[in-house]
Amino acid sequence: MNDSSNVIYRRSTAEDAEAVFHLLAASVRHLAPTPYSQQVIDTWMVGTVVDDYRNECANQQIWIAELARFPVGFAQAVPGEIKRLFVHADHAGKGIGSRLMERALNDALPAGTGTVKIFALLNAAPFYKKWGFQEIGRTVLPDRDEGLPPIDMIEMENVF
Ligand SMILES: CC(C)(COP(=O)(O)OP(=O)(O)OC[C@H]1O[C@@H](n2cnc3c(N)ncnc32)[C@H](O)[C@@H]1OP(=O)(O)O)[C@@H](O)C(=O)NCCC(=O)NCCS
């Protein structure tokens, strides 16, 4: 049996900030040498701390995917935008990203219809295309500390 059938999806609490931070850090380590350089990966989390995620976790903006009580992925959305979606590399390709995406889309579309944006990592664009998102432009991750190499992203959009 695929272990993804045992995954539980729940809304975050303030205590999930550590898990979100570490899942993100672990997930991006797999994105070098393509599509991101090792220099970009090594500096990805510079200037980022666990507490950056505390409020968003506390106000339940984030969905946590949990296997045997261990967080293996998360998704965050606000009306009109999917802000983050990460699945640990050890658990990728088992449908967990899709289950998180369904929940994030519900949060992004409180009225059931409308435009949803995603600032996608270069590797994730094919995943979002499966959900009907189209590339509308290229950009970089905002609010990086000065002097750090830029993180290229693809701006995507879908109208539901
Ligand atoms: C992208 C990501 C969220 C997908 O999660 P996942 O759990 O592996 O995805 P799923 O198993 O639900 O895959 C759903 C479908 O998308 C496809 N897919 C997933 N990732 C893909 C990728 N990078 N490129 C192409 N197709 C991909 C799967 O093959 C599957 O296709 P199918 O329905 O035809 O079988 C996950 O791989 C991840 O966290 N990657 C690293 C971090 C990242 O890039 N996050 C996005 C930030 S914008």
Q: What gap in Å lies between CA 156 and CA 55, rounded to an integer?
A: 26
- With a 6 Å cutoff on the Cβ, whether 124 touches ligand 1 is yes
Going along the chain from its start, the domains and CATH numbers come out as 4-112 (3.40.630.30)
Report the pLDDT averaged over residues 129-138: 97
- With a 6 Å cutoff on the Cβ, whether 75 touches ligand 1 is no
DSSP state of 149: P
* Sheet bearing 115-121, strands edge to edge: 8-11, 62-67, 70-78, 81-87, 115-121, 152-159, 134-140
> pLDDT-derived band of residue 5, with 50, 70 and 90 as boundaries?
confident
Report the pLDDT averaged over residues 2-15: 89
Q: What gap in Å lies between CA 27 and CA 88, rounded to an integer?
A: 5
Report the pLDDT averaged over residues 36-44: 96
pLDDT score of 129: 98
The pick from 28, 127, 141 for probing ligand 1's pocket by mutation, whose C-beta has the most ligand atoms within 8 angstroms, reads: 127
pLDDT score of 1: 45
Residue 148, token pair as written in the block:
């750090």
Report the pLDDT averaged over residues 45-64: 96
